[in-house]
Amino acid sequence: MGRIFCIANQKGGVGKTTTAISLADGFAKSSAKTLLIDFDPQCNATSGLRMQPLGSSPYVKTGENCPPLRDSVVPSGMHNLDVLPGSRNIAEVDVLLRSRPEEAEKILRQIRETAGAYDFVLFDCPPSLGHLTQLALFASAEVLIPMQCEYYAMEGLTHMGAMVKKVAAQKPEDLAFAGILLTMYDAGWELTHEVDREVRNYFGENVFDIVIPRDAAVSEAQAHGMPVMDYSPRSRAARAYIELCMDILDRRTVI
């Protein structure tokens, strides 16, 4: 099985979806067979590639004649990149697992069977520490946490780190820290540098040297339903994500 990444942060608006799409696009461009799984009820990773959400969640279907999860996977239209689209009803999984936590293993089995055909799998998670994020962490081998350079984001990072360590302690397989990624980085703001220093002082080598700059090209790419590396390959954000794709292949620090 290839490498499975969970892109997660309990805070919204920190660049999770942009990072998930950009990494998936970058890995696919490196000739690796890649799957992007949209685990967020907002379905932004799905619409961000000009695709339609699924009508119902494929994770809670039951019965002997139920189609396998891989049947819900669709080609993105880009070479080597497939997508398991999101569903507005994926919150049903949260409801299901609250009442029947034993169902988690069945869903994980479906995900692992589907992921086995790929070199890279990336989960775009919702902005919460609920069952969906926990399920993605259990299914993954590595977690990457995008973080906007603001103090409120730092507070949420502590809770996210605690959740990751909790899941890591329960997993039979190792859960590795791909790293913390500083996003929407504005070098002209003193606050950006203050947050950068504090995060690096506390988390050390678990923070990527590469930062993702604040760049209008990212918003424009989202509006066009394209990865920023395809929409504006010479933009600052695109260059940063290309560097991140190259760097992340060499980083693997076990929590």
**In CATH, what number is assigned to the domain containing residue 19?**
3.40.50.300
Q: Give the pLDDT of residue 208.
A: 95
Q: Give the pLDDT of residue 255.
A: 47
The pTM score is 0.93
Q: Give the pLDDT of residue 254.
A: 46
Domain range holding 188? Answer: 3-254
pLDDT by 10s per residue, the chain, length 255: 689 999 999 988 899 999 999 999 999 999 999 999 999 999 999 999 999 999 888 887 755 556 889 999 999 999 999 999 999 888 888 888 888 888 889 899 999 999 999 999 999 999 988 899 999 999 999 999 999 988 877 777 888 888 998 998 998 788 888 999 999 999 999 999 999 999 999 888 889 999 999 999 999 999 999 999 999 999 999 999 999 999 987 765 444
How many distinct structural domains can be found in the chain? 1
Q: Are strands 142-148 and 3-7 parallel, antiparallel or unpaired?
A: parallel
> What's the CA gap between 210 and 183, in Å, rounded?
9
Q: Give the pLDDT of residue 251.
A: 64
Q: Give the pLDDT of residue 151.
A: 80
